[in-house]
Chain A
């Protein structure tokens, strides 16, 4: 029973480069979430998709961040250009619905911007 799959697991890149994080949600789940975890702020929601449509992107920190969900089985989070303060662990999660359903998390992408 496949869970949420994220790639890459680790990414190290230089400041100014474009970074693309990928997520495959659990099949049949129609809600997808991107989170960022830092020591200072903990886990914070960046963007929420329902049925492939972005519903709430108020957590996206800047225009340098963008997210897409072209179909029900794939989503990307892109940072362009990247900055050292973007270094964090990025998690993707999915749930059956957007309501009070537990969200199932992937194992995250640890991003380091040098």
Chain B
């Protein structure tokens, strides 16, 4: 039973434009959310996180937005660069150790 869902398996964006990756969750106990980035043949790499006490967290070109009432979060990448092409995983936890991952969205940034 998937508690974290990334409904778009893939996304294609032009270089320089905004990439928006979406994630929905069902468990209202989740209070900490993370985004990971994964290149082929490598492990996931932590990108950015957000606590449920915030609705936005920014780190350089990456911003995560959290809408608790909608149980929805999104990752914005501005401007998108070809090196951002990767699979992005959303993960959530109820402040414990167990990360519940979505199945990922494959982002392709084209020149």
Are A and B part of the same complex?
A: yes
CB atoms of A42 and B99 under 8 A apart: no
Chain A, interface SS category: strand
CB atoms of B96 and A102 under 8 A apart: no
Task: Report A-chain residues with C-beta under 8 Å of the C-beta of B41.
Answer: 107-108
* A side interface size, CB within 8 A: 24
Q: Give the interface residue-count category, chain B.
A: 20 to 34
Bitwise, B42-61 to A at CB < 8 A (1) or not (0) is: 11111001010000000000
Residues of B within 8 A of A (CB): 2, 32, 34, 36, 41-46, 49, 51, 89, 93, 95-99, 101-104
A–B Cβ pairs within 8 angstroms, 25 of them: A4-B43, A31-B97, A33-B97, A42-B2, A43-B89, A44-B101, A45-B98, A45-B99, A48-B97, A48-B98, A50-B97, A56-B97, A91-B43, A93-B43, A98-B96, A98-B97, A99-B95, A99-B96, A100-B32, A100-B51, A100-B93, A103-B46, A105-B36, A105-B44, A107-B43
